[in-house]
A and B are shown apart, each in its own frame.
Chain A
Amino acid sequence: MAAALPHAQAGPVIPDFGRGSACVRDNGLLCWDWVRDNWSGTLQPALVEHVVLTVVAVAVGFAIAFALALAAHRRGWLTTPVVVVTGVLYTIPSLALFQLLVPFTGLSRATAWIALVSYTLLILFRNILAGLAGVPPEARDAARGMGMTDRQILWRVELPLALPAIVAGLRIATVTVISLATVAVFVINEGLGAPIYAALQQSFKTELVAAGALCVGLALAADGLLVLVQRLLSPWTRAARAA
């Protein structure tokens, strides 16, 4: 299990950016010609890998948190143990958690995904549960008076009313995972962490700035997309605000 990890250079690194434009040779802050030349070879694949890492982690995290929240919604005593366990996972620093998983799952995508999923659980669980708890009792009573079963009440009344809180949790979880997925570079050479780490080794500014900006841009785009999804799924919240 002594796989080679990328590690920080001990001594000073003498940059050699001999090839390329004057901007690249001078290690300018952001050289557009480098970004253009390396978009399809480096930046775009890293961006796609980053999206895959994020989407899978949030989807799996949501499935687990959703099941746990539904269980805790029915059986209140489950809330405390789930919050304690997911809270511990959430508190462990990402770099440490990735490494602690290596003896079990190796330097693999599974390691990255397990760590990333574990960071979504606390956020999603708390938000889904808060959303369900925030459903007005009158709405629940009215549904029961109409003859709905527990299952119908959950899917037709409680979950739609909890949607804003659930999406709020998804937004926080997604943005957090996009940020933390850069740290996955210490176990797999994938995602936007890869160009960031490569550039860090050589102090190459353009690649640092470009990959960092892509990561922030991806987070903002994902956040905006989820807001849009929420508007489409719960048109009544907008109507209520306009009224």
Chain B
Amino acid sequence: MGDFLDALRFIVDERALLWQLTVDHLALTGAAVGIALAIALPLGVVLGHARRGAFLAINAANIGRALPSLALISLGVALLGIGFVNVMVALVVLAVPPVLTNAYVAVAGVDRDAVDAARGMGMTPAEVLRKVELPLALPLIFAGVRTAVVYVIATATLASVAGAHSLGDVIVDQATYRLPGVLGAAICVAALALAAELLLAALQRAVVPPGLPTRERTRIP
């Protein structure tokens, strides 16, 4: 346990450095997740609403999972070169599949009876989407976002090998920071990921309409 006491001491002593790297880490994560949401949410919702492109939307998550994060970041480096933007592009590629698949499955999986009832009440397709399908699909859509955020926080740690800054800078540089530094940064990354997961879970509970189960049984990891 001595190693962990040293690690805690490192966290206290180097809090300025770790704070700066945490900000960098979150900037990278936020940018990548933001762009991925802008791409994948509308696409998944529209495809799900039309119940078209099921093959693409459902297999996106499978293919995305098969992409090794280290290899993807490396391929990004090979194709685009190192740096913040290029790493971010690789992270967007990782974040799109879970969001897309969950959004599609969520909207396409809304109870047909509810959709038919809404239509029978004279709602336009846009109203059906906004007032019926989206609220009912929200828990599962949110599950996809949570998966993507945690995934991107984890992978942003690897960004250090590709020239972008994150808490991974300390973890992969044992020569400089020694074991206590590596452990300290690893503790920070783990805490960051768990905090993000808990925060999003709380947010989900706040935005999901009452009466809907917030525990996503069908969440796709």
Contacts and interface: CB of A to CB of B under 8 A. Distances in A.
B71 A215 contact: yes
Contact of B77 (A90, A193, A203): A203
Closest 4 CB pairs of A and B: A212-B71, A93-B154, A219-B66, A96-B186
Contacts of B182: 5, 99, 102
Given A203-B78, A220-B66, 6 more contacts: A4-B174, A8-B161, A93-B155, A95-B168, A96-B157, A100-B187
Nearest to B4: A103
Interface of A: 1-2, 4-8, 29, 87-88, 90-97, 99-100, 102-103, 122-123, 130, 172, 175-176, 178-183, 185-186, 192-193, 196-197, 199-200, 203, 205, 208-209, 211-212, 215-216, 219-220, 223
Contacts of B130: none
Given A208-B78, A209-B78, A212-B75, A183 B69 contact: yes
Given A5-B174, A93-B190, A215 B68 contact: yes
B51 interface: no
A214 to B, nearest CB: 9
A181 B70 CA distance: 9
Interface string B140-167: 0000000000100111011011100000
Interface of B: 3-4, 62, 65-72, 74-75, 77-79, 150, 153-155, 157-158, 160-162, 168, 171-176, 178-179, 182-183, 185-187, 189-190, 193-194, 197, 217, 221
Contacts of B171: 95-96, 99, 186
Contacts, number: 148
Nearest to A95: B157
Contacts of B217: 130
Contact of A196 (B65, B70, B157, B168): B70
Given A7-B172, A200-B162, A185 B193 contact: no
A150 B3 CA distance: 48
B194 A88 contact: yes
18 contacts: A7-B173, A7-B174, A8-B160, A8-B161, A87-B197, A91-B197, A92-B189, A92-B194, A93-B157, A123-B221, A185-B70, A196-B70, A208-B74, A212-B74, A215-B68, A215-B71, A216-B67, A216-B68
A93 B153 contact: yes
Which residue among A1, A87, A96, A192 has the maximum number of chain B CB atoms within 10 Å of its CB?
A96
